[in-house]
Amino acid sequence: MRRIYESGALHRDDEHFTPNKRDRSYRPQALRSLNSTRLSRSLLPNRFGYRAISISVSTPREEFASDTAIPFQVTMKNTLPVPVTVPTNSPVLWTWDVDGTTNASRVPLHDPPEESGAFVFDRGERKQFTKGWQQLFRVSESEWEPAEPGEYTIGAEVNVDNADKKGLRGTTTVRIVPETATDADGR
């Protein structure tokens, strides 16, 4: 008898998020003739692996009125023609932050299991993630405070020690201006 959890019954096409859906980065490697994770680990010393990945953050504008969401895009690219796997400190593969505050939260949001993760990039792969900062800092489990007008750095980095030094961090700067000031600009 086929058991329910071996069947396709857990897949729903109406779900935004299907629990057992495989993330592309967890694609079963047994299906390939070569295990790319192992291959890239054996071929590339980590420091070359790091160098292969570039990461950048971009926003549509530099200036945003207070109280508007700031959308930003994180782009990661594997510049090598071979697959590259970056071992990460935990299953959290990368994080974003505002002025170094991860997820714009002053309280830790996640308590990932104590095991390492693997961020897999196909040959030449470009990954793009669209996120948004609501101009709020989370100050407790249930409270948020607005960010004052001023300059902020939005960063994104792969979850490794000293990501910046390894070239696995990208940043961009945005300015929050009081609403009246933008109105005066005629926007």
Partner 1 sequence: MTLLEVNDLTVKFYTQDGVVTAVDNLSYQIESGEKFGVVGESGAGKSVTALSLMRLIDSPGQIESGEILFKGEDLLEMSEEEVRNIRGNEIAMIFQDAQTALNPVYTVGEQIAEAIRHHLGHDEAEARERTIQLLDRVGIPEAETRFSDYPHEFSGGMQQRAVIAMALSCDPDLLLCDEPTTALDVTIEAQILEELEELADDFDTAIQLITHDLGVVAEVCDRVMVMYGGKPVEKAPVEELYYDPKHPYTVGLMSSIPRVGDDRDRLQTIPGTMPDLVELPPGCSFHPRCPYAEESCTRKEPPLLDPETGEEAAGTANEHAAACLEYSGELQGGLDYSVEINDSQGEPTAVNPEGDRND
Contact 158, 55 (CB under 8 A): yes
Q: Is 25 in the site for partner 1 (CB under 8 A)?
A: yes
Per CB under 8 A, the segment of 18-26, 46-54, 163-171, 176-184 that binds partner 1 is 18-26
Q: Give the dihedral of Cα atoms 91, 165, 135, 149; nearest 10 deg.
A: 170
* Burial grade of 76 (CB within 10 A; 0-12, 13-18, 19 or more): buried
- The answer to whether 17 contacts partner 1 (rule: CB under 8 A) is yes
**Distance between CA atoms of residues 36 and 181, nearest Å:** 53
Q: Is 111 in the site for partner 1 (CB under 8 A)?
A: yes
- Residue 174 is encoded by which pair of tokens? 């945005």
Indicate whether 31 belongs to the interface with partner 1 (CB under 8 A): no
Residue 171 in contact with partner 1, rule: CB under 8 A: no
CB closer to partner 1, 143 vs 179: 143
Note whether 87 binds partner 1 by CB under 8 A: no
Q: Is 12 in the site for partner 1 (CB under 8 A)?
A: yes
Closest CA relative to residue 184, chosen from 65, 19, 38, 45: 65
Cβ at position 36, least distance to partner 1 in Å: 15
19 binds partner 1, rule: CB under 8 A: yes
Q: Does 33 bind partner 1 (CB under 8 A)?
A: no
Asked if 133 and 70 touch (Cβ cutoff 8 Å), the reply is yes
Which of 113, 114, 161, 186: binder of partner 1 (CB under 8 A)? 113
- 114 is an interface residue for partner 1 by CB under 8 A: no
Site of interaction with partner 1 (CB under 8 A):
1-2, 4-5, 7-10, 12, 14-17, 19-20, 23-26, 91-94, 109-113, 117, 119, 127, 129, 131-132, 134, 136, 138, 141-146
